[in-house]
Amino acid sequence: MIHAYLKAVLGLVVLPAMSLAGAWAANSCIDCHSDPNYFVQDRKLHDYYQDWIKSPHKEAGLTCDFCHSGDPAAAGKEAAHNTILKVTDPESRLFFKNLPETCGSCHPDKLAQFKLSKHFKALMEDRTAPSCTTCHSAMRPRPDYRDIVKQSCHTCHFDDNPQALPLVADRADEFLHRLNIGKVYLAWVTMYYEEQSWPGETREEVGAITSKYNDAVARVHRFDLATMDESSAEILAELEGMFKTAWDERPTRD
């Protein structure tokens, strides 16, 4: 049932894209790494670039050097790579202890929540724990790599060790799924009622569910799983209801 609606929604939602295209007019990282020859010569290199080019970060003008350092004004590889630090170097912006701050410099609210979690504490104590890129990947930050997330939770929270919270992986998988779908409904409903100039109480209703959704996302970032199952299910049910109402009421256009 849900899938028929979802298909309709996906067909209609056109998410706004920020664009500063051209901001890297003279950026040797982009010029060189975009070389299509890497598809054959170095497939992994090619794939990293393809991840970035499809990411919202590319849309926002966030170039390679921001995260990796290096000199984008230098033409040759050696010179451009000169100041790229290994991720194992504690000075690297991508060093595991620095990564949350690097991402958080532009996403401070997510960082603030993450800092409240035991995972963050574990990272700072040099223990292994997930970080921003566990769920969002490094180069193409999307929150919907459910399988990858689930796998990654399993690496530490596994079945043979009841002390290690073995169920969190499945639960994370379920609520991530609900939030992914819920997000699409929310975008559609918001767009639809805005187009209709917010009839009746719709502005308040959409505002209320948006806060609930944002609150759930905040809780994801502090790993407050105890409350996620119920709240993500409630949010999805409510959004699905709102979507169906709007969809059935929508004026037909010729």
With contacts defined by CB under 6 A, how many residues of the chain interact with ligand HEC? 76
Q: 168, 164, 139: which is closest to 151 by C-alpha? A: 168
CA–CA separation, 174 vs 228, rounded Å?
Answer: 10
Token code pair at residue 92? 């690297």
Q: Within 10 A of 219 (CB to CB), how many other CB atoms are there?
A: 19
Q: Please list every residue from 4 through 43 that binds ligand HEC, using CB under 6 A.
A: 18, 28-30, 32-33, 42
Report phi then psi at 51, rounded to 5.
-60, -50
Instruction: State which residue, 135 or 242, has the beta carbon closest to ligand HEC.
Output: 135
Instruction: State which residue, 81 or 196, has the beta carbon closest to ligand HEC.
Output: 81
Q: Please list every residue from 139 through 178 that binds ligand HEC, using CB under 6 A.
A: 139, 141-143, 149, 152-153, 155-157, 165, 168, 172, 176
User: Considering the rule CB under 6 A, would residue 46 count as an interface residue with ligand HEC?
Assistant: no
Instruction: State which residue, 35 or 195, has the beta carbon closest to ligand HEC.
Output: 35
Q: How far is the CB of 91 from ligand HEC (least distance, A)?
A: 14
Q: How far is the CB of 153 from ligand HEC (least distance, A)?
A: 3
The DSSP code sequence of 197-230 is: T--TTHHHHHHHHHHHHHHHHHHHHTT-HHHHHH
CA–CA separation, 245 vs 197, rounded Å?
Answer: 16
Q: Please list every residue from 94 through 133 that binds ligand HEC, using CB under 6 A.
A: 94, 100, 102-107, 110-111, 114, 118-119, 122, 127-130, 132-133
DSSP state at residue 106: T
Among 223, 232, 235, 243, contact with ligand HEC (rule: CB under 6 A): 223
